[in-house]
Chain A
Amino acid sequence: MAKITAKNAILLVNGYNLSSWGSSYEVPTEIDPVEVTGFGDGSKNYTPGMKSGHIAMDMMWDKDAAAVHAVLKTPSTGIVSLMPEGYALGNPSFSLPYMQANYLPGANVSEHIKVGSIVFESYGVNVGVEHGIALAHATITDTTTGVGVLVGAGTFACYCVLHIWDTVSSDSYVITVEEADTLGGAYTNVATFTLNGQALNAERILVASAARKAYMRAVATRTGAAGDTLGYSVLFAHS
């Protein structure tokens, strides 16, 4: 596999696309090692303990509306997602229900003003960082049916994430995740988001473990005729 440039990364924080202010990120997942060394063992040894994870992003300062300072100055909760290779259907994604742990404006006289490394810690009962794929990341003006992505059939829980980063004013959308046995087969509903595209926001749906089909796709169905522009991302992960 060839090296992949990092410059295409897409950073989404609760519906705000902050990519062009982000300069670096990291997505560590750690497991606490619980020592179980006993007498007679030749070496210390461990068993897996609790898992932990967070997403951290270094950002530039910007005081404009819907930019870094306005979005992050008051630490809050929400959904953060990251597409490390940028968007193409099926590209890898990381998502996390978060509690923002800090906000660190600072500067060196010869550099840009920065807001430091913002840490998004896991929030609520969840599995930590969700390693998934991108089903959609686009601007649309009408109903759009995405192409299915092979995730493999199995029994698993689904974590469906939606970010609305460019809103419609008079139109509204119903955005769903659907599944099918084959790429061109009949698709049925997995999850329906409540966000209708009229406000910047993000939403995560946990679908309890059940038998799931091999292909997943995102569908955005428009109500209205204005043809407003909707900017949205749909990310899918499973247990």
Chain B
Amino acid sequence: MTLASSLTTIVTSIAGLSVSGLTIKNTDAIPEQADLQYPLLVPRPNEFITDLHSERTTFGINGTARVDLTYNLNYVFLYAPAGTGVSELDAYSGMITMMVAIINAIMSNDTLSGAVDVNLDGVSGIGIIQDPANNQYWGCFWAMHVTEYVQP
């Protein structure tokens, strides 16, 4: 028998979430630069999957046991180019508003297809960050904690 993680299904489910004004990308659509596509929430290319942990919860060998699989999926939020607006901080309020919308979307959709549970596990780096082309944006980094019950 074979045990199979639903990680790719879950990432696709996250890309399918609806947050007004925000584009959420899957791993096969990470743009090299965010021009004309922001606000964007994209998988973070470096360390997309972290804190991976599998725990056997029942007896069984060679794919017959039940396993709890947990991990973090890490995303980059690119809201608006740095320098947008009259002052440096004009984009800040809108960014926070959209971050709250992201929080609400995750909290309201904790059983995405493929996962038993999806929770937010932290936000960091709120401020000026870079897209893969080193363009500067107002944004931050998100960690989403995923729990799967992997069963034969």
Residues of A that sit less than 8 Å from B by CB: 6-11, 19-23, 60, 86, 112
Contacts and interface: CB of A to CB of B under 8 A. Distances in A.
Contact of A8 (B61, B66, B149, B152): B61
Contacts of B149: 112
Interface in B81-112: none
Interface of B: 56-61, 64-66, 149, 151-152
Given A9-B59, A20-B59, A20-B65, 8 more contacts: A8-B61, A19-B59, A19-B64, A20-B60, A22-B59, A23-B57, A23-B59, A60-B58
Contacts, number: 37
A22 B151 CA distance: 13
A6 B59 contact: yes
Contacts of B56: 7
B54 to A, nearest CB: 13
B18 to A, nearest CB: 27
Contacts of A6: 59
Q: 4 closest A-B pairs (Cβ-Cβ)?
A: A9-B59, A20-B60, A19-B59, A22-B59
A21 B58 contact: yes
Binding site of B, secondary structure by majority: helix, strand, loop or mixed? loop
Nearest to B62: A8
Given A20-B152, A112-B149, A7 B61 contact: yes
A112 B117 CA distance: 12
Contacts of A22: 58-59
A217 B151 CA distance: 35
A9 B59 CA distance: 6
18 contacts: A7-B59, A7-B60, A7-B61, A8-B59, A8-B60, A9-B59, A11-B59, A19-B58, A19-B60, A20-B59, A20-B64, A21-B58, A21-B66, A22-B58, A23-B58, A60-B58, A86-B61, A112-B57
A45 B115 CA distance: 59
Contacts of A10: 59
Contacts of B66: 20-21, 60
Contacts of A21: 58, 66
A111 to B, nearest CB: 9
B145 to A, nearest CB: 12
Nearest to B149: A112
Contacts of B61: 7-8, 86
A20 B58 CA distance: 6
A165 to B, nearest CB: 13
